[in-house]
Amino acid sequence: MKDYAVLNINGEDHKFSLGERRGQVPYSETLVQTLRERMGFAGTELSCGEGFCGRCAVLADGKAIASCMTLTSECDGKKIVTIEGLQKKANGEPDPVVKAVLDYSRFQCQICIPGIIVAVKSIFNKNPNPTESEIKEGLSGNYCSLEKECGIGTQLVSHLAKHPALR
């Protein structure tokens, strides 16, 4: 049994002691718990708890994953980037994805935004020139409580497809 896990979170290595003693990270702890409660990265939201709403999305080695369905103890050696890491990269600047998403004017409750930013970054990590339908597919895991009133799957997609910061 591994008794530690080293996660690179937003550019910094963190070594977590794994186990059941006080102060250790239990094997059963989920990544969203670790990020929010231990690391204070509250930008990542905990919503459905089942992985389908997209609000807990973080990047793991460049790909969006549901942190509520990921065990921290299984992330040894992984590079985790949360919304905080995208808002302020190593050079102090926000990632262009952040500007592109925040430029969208129709967000209402805004709880989806961190997850959407992560998902968009994941899309562009895979393919720097995605088609509109690839963007749409890539955002299909980000749930809008207002039943798409904000146009998450439609106007946001075309907004992102055209946005200069993403070209």
Q: Name the site residues for another protein (rule: CB under 8 A).
A: 1-2, 18, 20, 26-28, 30, 48-54, 57, 60, 63-66, 68-71, 73-74, 119, 122, 137-138, 140-143, 153
Residues 11-30 as b or e (16 or more Cβ within 10 Å = b): eeeeebebeeeeeebeeebb
CA 166 to chain centre: 18
Which residue, 82 or 142, is less far from another protein as judged by CB? Answer: 142
CB of 93: closest distance to another protein in angstroms? 26
Which residue, 28 or 93, is less far from another protein as judged by CB? Answer: 28
* CA distance linking residue 26 with residue 153, whole number of Å: 37
CB of 141: closest distance to another protein in angstroms? 3
CB of 114: closest distance to another protein in angstroms? 13
> Which alpha helices (DSSP H) does the chain contain, by range?
31-33, 83-87, 96-102, 113-126, 132-138, 155-162
Q: Name the residue among 79, 98, 101 with its Cα closest to residue 160.
A: 101
Helix (H, G, I), strand (E, B) or coil at 134: helix
CB of 8: closest distance to another protein in angstroms? 18
Which residue, 51 or 94, is less far from another protein as judged by CB? Answer: 51
Which residue, 18 or 39, is less far from another protein as judged by CB? Answer: 18
CB of 121: closest distance to another protein in angstroms? 12
Which residue, 34 or 122, is less far from another protein as judged by CB? Answer: 122
Strand order in the sheet with 63-66: 12-17, 4-9, 79-81, 57-60, 63-66
Backbone angles phi, psi at 12, to 5 degrees: -115, 140
